Structure 1
C-alpha cells in the first residue's frame, strides 16, 4: 500500500502506460484523477479502479487549471503528477510542416510543462513528486522523427529543471524513458512494418524492432508502470533528477559493434 492516502493526477491516463500506472496506484491505496482529451477511455479505466475523470487538454492552461482545481477539491490535495500525455511528431526536418512541428511541441512537451506548472503549488504543499514520461528517443535519435525526438529530449530537460528548482521545496522530479512498449500507439507503428516487410503479424514486427535489444522483446505497459510507481513512491525518497530507462538494455548497445554480434 505504497500510495495509501496519496492523490495522483495522471495525464494521458485512459490508455497504455497511463492506464497501467493508474491501476497500480489505485491497487496500492492511492486516489487517482485521470486527465485526457477523450472521455470514453478515461471513463472505462475509472469505472474499473474507482478513479475520477477530468476531461481536459493537458497542454491547455485554462483546461488544466480547471482539472487540477477539481482534483484538489475532490481529494483534498495533490501528491503526485504523472506527466504521461504524449503523441507523434514524426517526419524528416526537410519536409516537416509548421503544423506537424507545433503539434509535436503541444502533444509531447507542452502537456508536461503545463501540467507541471499547474500542479506545482499543490505538490509543494504536499512535498510531492513528478514523474515525466519521456522515451529513449529523448536520449537518442530515431530516423525521420525530428519533432518527437526533439520534444522527448525537451521533456528530460524540463524534468531536470524542475528537479533543480523545486527540490529545495521537497518536490522530487524524475524521468522514465521507455523503449518499445506494447501499446496501441506502438501497434500502429508495427502495422507499418508489417506492410513494409510483408510480415505475418504485429508480433513479428515487435520481434524485428527488438532483435538487437539484449532482452530481445518489448516491454509491457505494466513493466513501465513498475518503474514509474517506484519513482513516485516513498521508496525513492532520495531520488531526484534521475533518468530511468525501461528498454530491455537497448540503450547499452554500441551500434558500431553490431556487425560483430552472433
Structure 2
C-alpha cells in the first residue's frame, strides 16, 4: 500500500487522519514536535510510525523525509496539518506573536511541501493535502495572525497546483469549520470563562447555533475528506478548496434575524 506523512499528527485532526489512513491499509508517518502524543497515536496501529520534527524547520523536515525514503522507498501522500494560534487584532499583535503565528500556520506547510515535493514527484507523482480552516475564507474577531496564515495556505496550495500538476503532484486544501479537537476545546473553555456558556458543551452549541447542520464536526469527518483527496477517486481533483464546515459558509449573516 501507499505511504503517507501527516504533520501535526499527534492530536485532533492530524491524529484522526493517521488513524483513517492506517485503517485503510496505508503506512503512515506522524510527525510533530512532541514525542508523547505521536507515540500514543503510533501505538494504536502497527502501520503508524512516529517521528519527531518541527514542521517549520527545513533541516528537520529534510532529514525526516530522507528517513521516510530510506525506510519505505517512496512517499505517496502528505497532509500538512500542523498549525497554531494567533489570537489578537492587528493593533494588539506584537512582532514576536505575528512571526510565531505565521510560522505555525503557514511556514509549517510551506516547509513540509518543499521538502516532500521531490519524493512526491518520484514514481509517477503523489498527493498533497493542506489543512487550512474556515478562517482561510472568512475572518473571526481578534484572530489576525491565524486568519492571515490560513488565508495564505490557499495561495500556497494554488501555487503548488499550478507548478507541480504537470509533474504528477496533486495539491488541494481542506477548510474545516468547528471540529471537536483539544485546541477547539480550549477555545470553548475561554468562552465559558467569559460567561458566554455554562460549560464546554454549551459553548459548542453556541458557536454552531447558526451552522445549518447545527453541530461541530468530529475529527474523523475531516479525516474522511483527507482520505478521499489522497486517494484514486480524487485523481482529477487539483488546486481545489474543500470546505467542511456543516454549511456555515453558505449562511447569509444579515438574514440571521429571520431565523
Same fold (TM over 0.5): yes
Equivalent pairs, count: 257
Partner secondary structure for residue 190 of structure 1: helix
Equivalent-residue separation in structure 1 for 2:177 and 2:44 (angstroms): 27
Q: 1:99 Cα shift? A: 0.6
Residue 30 (structure 2) aligns with:
34
Equivalent-residue separation in structure 1 for 2:88 and 2:107 (angstroms): 19
Matched, 1:46 2:38: no
Q: 1:198 Cα shift? A: 5.5
Residue 73 (structure 2) aligns with:
76
Q: Which runs of 5+ in 2 are unaligned?
A: none
* Conservation of the 8 A alpha-carbon contact between 2:20 and 2:223: yes
Q: Which runs of 5+ in 1 are unaligned?
A: none
Residue 105 (structure 1) aligns with:
102
Equivalent-residue separation in structure 1 for 2:6 and 2:56 (angstroms): 13
Question: Normalising by the residue count of structure 2, what TM-score does the alignment of the two structures yield?
Answer: 0.98
Question: Normalising by the residue count of structure 1, what TM-score does the alignment of the two structures yield?
Answer: 0.97
Change (3 A) 1:168 1:198: closer
Residue 171 (structure 1) aligns with:
169
Listed as ranges, the matches of 1:226-245 within 5 Å are 226-245=224-243
Q: CA RMSD in A?
A: 0.8
Q: 1:200 Cα shift? A: 2.6
Runs ≥4 residues deviating over 6 A:
none
Partner secondary structure for residue 129 of structure 2: strand
Equivalent-residue separation in structure 2 for 1:97 and 1:33 (angstroms): 35
Render the CA deviation track for 1:49-93: whole Å, top value 9, x for unaligned: 121211000000011011110011111111100000000011011
Which among 8, 13, 23 is matched to residue 12 of structure 1? Answer: 8
Q: 1:197 Cα shift? A: 1.9
Which among 90, 95, 109 is matched to residue 93 of structure 1? Answer: 90
Equivalent-residue separation in structure 2 for 1:32 and 1:147 (angstroms): 30
Residue 201 (structure 2) aligns with:
203
Q: 1:199 Cα shift? A: 2.8
